[in-house]
């Protein structure tokens, strides 16, 4: 596994390969990232990982400085997973002092949900992902569905800018108790972690309610709010949105994302589940017989 820190060496290394699948990360790798690596491996003979805690996607009061950076551990995990190369640049390499700021934005998709609570977040995400795509020129890139809005925004950016990259959505990995895996789970005390379980429980309750025939989203939202409030979580949003437009929906009559962002003391967590009426799902071959 080769580790490069400059854009020039990353480009030179990338040129040795044909198809490359990139897994962009901010490090602090966990089993969820390992699953992204496995998806990447299925998509290209060369797997590249970027490890870069991107300052431009953090708000002034967010956790940029305290974000975990266990680089040696991350490198060991990548080596074990058979990653071919790592791009781990410094902030100055990615954002050289004096370089004019550039904004890539898709306001229709970046303003709701996370955008409301983290103004500027997706501008930073699009800025760094566009740069990483230009540097590594991957043929595919893997993103987790836990950050479903990020996944939607990046897919739309790639479409809108005609970038020849397949965006591979990868399912959320959960701990056995249901908590969605996230690098920020490391901030939780044992008690906070217990309370954080209300988030996945809320989603599962709403999912079961939908399966029992409830399609009115005001009912599903009320069901999700209950366990969050009972566990004294501070809710940023509990929403039911169209999976494509991210606009709120009143009824589940197409693919719909139930999404939660809530804070357990100082730790902000997000999670979601996609639901859809059976008739809106793509038909499988064996359904057609
Ligand atoms: O999801 C993340 O870890 C980050 O937002 C990403 C895509 C690596 C961009 O910094």
Q: How far is the CA of 125 from the centre of ligand 1 (A)?
A: 6
Question: Regarding beta strands 85-87 and 46-51, do their DSSP bridges make them parallel or antiparallel, or are they unpaired?
Answer: parallel
Q: Which of 129, 153, 154, 170 to mutate to test the pocket of ligand 1 (most atoms within 8 A of CB)?
A: 129
Residue 159 CB-density burial (10 A; 0-12 exposed, 13-18 middle, 19+ buried): exposed
User: Rounded to 10 degrees, what is the CA torsion of 33, 93, 269, 262?
Assistant: -160
Q: Is 163 exposed, middle or buried (0-12, 13-18, 19+ CB in 10 A)?
A: middle
- pLDDT tens readout for residues 244-287: 999 999 999 999 999 999 999 999 999 999 999 988 767 766 55
d(CA 63, CA 42): 33
Query: Which residue in 30, 33, 39, 121 is the catalytic one?
Result: 33
pTM of the entire structure?
Answer: 0.95
Confidence of residue 17 (pLDDT cuts 50, 70, 90): very high
Tell me what pLDDT residue 216 has: 98
Domain with CATH 3.30.1300.10 in the chain: 183-274
CA angle (105, 108, 114) in 5-degree steps: 80
User: What is 2-170's CATH topology?
Assistant: Rossmann fold (3.40.50)
Residue 77 to residue 79: CA distance in whole angstroms? 5
Fold adopted by 183-274: 3.30.1300
Nearest protein CA to atom 9 of ligand 1, as residue? 125
Ligand 1: residue of 51, 58, 125 to mutate (most ligand atoms within 8 A of CB) is 125
Residue 24 near ligand 1, beta carbon < 6 Å: yes
* Atom from ligand 1 closest to the CA of residue 154: 7
pLDDT tens by residue, 132-151 = 999 999 999 999 999 999 99
Residue 289 has pLDDT above 60, yes or no: no
Q: Which ranges in the chain are annotated with CATH 3.40.50.620?
A: 2-170
Task: Please tell me the predicted confidence (pLDDT) of residue 286.
Answer: 58
pLDDT tens per residue, range 21-39: 999 999 999 999 999 999 9
Instruction: Specify the pLDDT at position 279.
Output: 80
Percent of the chain topping pLDDT 70? 97
| Residue 80: pLDDT over 70 | yes
Ligand 1 within 6 A of CB of 125? yes
Residue 150: closest CA among 227, 285, 47, 257: 257
Cα 50 to averaged position of ligand 1 atoms, centre (Å): 9
Q: What is the mean pLDDT of the chain?
A: 96
Distance 127 CA to ligand 1 centre (A): 11
- Percent with pLDDT over 90 in the chain: 96
Quote the radius of gyration of the chain (alpha carbons, Å). 19
**Ligand 1 closest atom vs CA 50:** 8
pLDDT tier at 227 (50, 70, 90 boundaries)?
very high
How far, in Å, CA of 20 to CA of 43, rounded?
Answer: 8
Annotated active-site residue 33? The verdict is yes
Look at ligand 1, atom 3, and give the residue with the nearest C-alpha. Answer: 25
- Residue range 69-87: average pLDDT? 98
What is the average pLDDT across 97-109? Answer: 94
Whether 129 is in the pocket of ligand 1, judged by its Cβ within 6 Å, is: yes
- C-alpha of residue 176 to centroid of ligand 1, in Å: 24
């Amino acid at each position: 596994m080769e580790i490069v820190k400059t854009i020039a060496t990353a480009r030179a290394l990338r040129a040795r390969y044909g198809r490359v699948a990139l897994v962009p990360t901010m490090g602090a790798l966990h089993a969820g990232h390992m699953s992204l690596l496995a998806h990447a491996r299925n998509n290209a003979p060369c797997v590249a990982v970027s490890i870069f805690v991107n300052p431009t996607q953090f708000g002034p009061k967010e956790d940029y400085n305290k974000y975990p950076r266990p680089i040696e551990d991350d490198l060991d995990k990548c080596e074990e997973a058979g990653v071919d190369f790592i791009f781990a640049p410094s902030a100055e390499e990615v954002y050289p002092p004096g370089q004019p700021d550039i904004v890539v934005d898709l306001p229709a998709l970046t303003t709701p949900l996370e955008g409301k609570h983290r103004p500027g977040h997706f501008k930073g995400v699009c800025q760094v992902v566009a740069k990483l795509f230009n540097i590594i020129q991957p043929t595919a890139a893997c993103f987790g569905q836990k950050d479903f809005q990020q996944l939607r925004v990046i897919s739309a950016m790639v479409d809108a800018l005609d970038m020849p990259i397949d965006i591979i959505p990868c399912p959320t990995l959960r701990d056995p108790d249901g908590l969605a895996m996230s690098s920020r789970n490391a901030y939780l005390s044992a008690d906070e972690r217990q309370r954080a379980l209300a988030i996945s429980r809320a989603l599962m309750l709403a999912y079961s309610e939908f399966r029992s025939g409830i399609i009115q989203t005001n009912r599903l939202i009320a069901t999700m709010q209950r366990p969050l409030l009972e566990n004294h979580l501070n809710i940023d949003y509990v929403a039911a949105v169209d999976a494509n437009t991210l606009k709120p929906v009143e009824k589940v009559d197409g693919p719909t994302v139930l999404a939660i962002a809530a804070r357990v003391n100082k730790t902000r967590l997000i999670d979601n589940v996609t639901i859809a009426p059976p008739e809106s799902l793509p038909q499988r071959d064996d359904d057609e017989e």
